[in-house]
Structure 1
Amino acid sequence: MTPVVEAAMTGRENLEMVARLFGQNRRTARASAAAVLARLSLDEVADRLADRVVIIDRGRVAAEGTPGS
């Protein structure tokens, strides 16, 4: 599994992009991203550029890295 993140986007923008790729309209994607960020208590850092990603599958780290690695 390879981490996928767009380095030129914030964490919030990345979540919204993934929601859109799964067929959500813009408004729903924004709401979904906001809900995920709130649930994970990441609201304060959501608008920073993403420089690292960790993918968790069934409670275990499946992949981690930085954009371009």
Structure 2
Amino acid sequence: MEALNLDMIGAGLIIIGAGFGLGKIGSAAMEGIARQPEAAGKIQTAMIIIAALLEGVAFAALFAV
């Protein structure tokens, strides 16, 4: 029972970290697009790929518990 609680805490921390990471990715992408509007397509593509990988880690943490 104790190990299950620690697993849930660990999964929660991973999900919280993923949330912060997604926020950081979004803010950095918006800042980059504001500075170089002509590179918006490349920045957006890279942001979506990184965000998808990060969400995959969060989902894996959820399903591992």
- Report the TM range for the smaller structure's normalisation: 0.3 to 0.5
* Bigger Rg, which one: 2
Greater share of strand: 1
- Of structures 1 and 2, the one scoring higher in RCO (CA 8 A, sep 6+) is 2
Q: TM-score, normalised by structure 1?
A: 0.32
Greater share of helix: 2
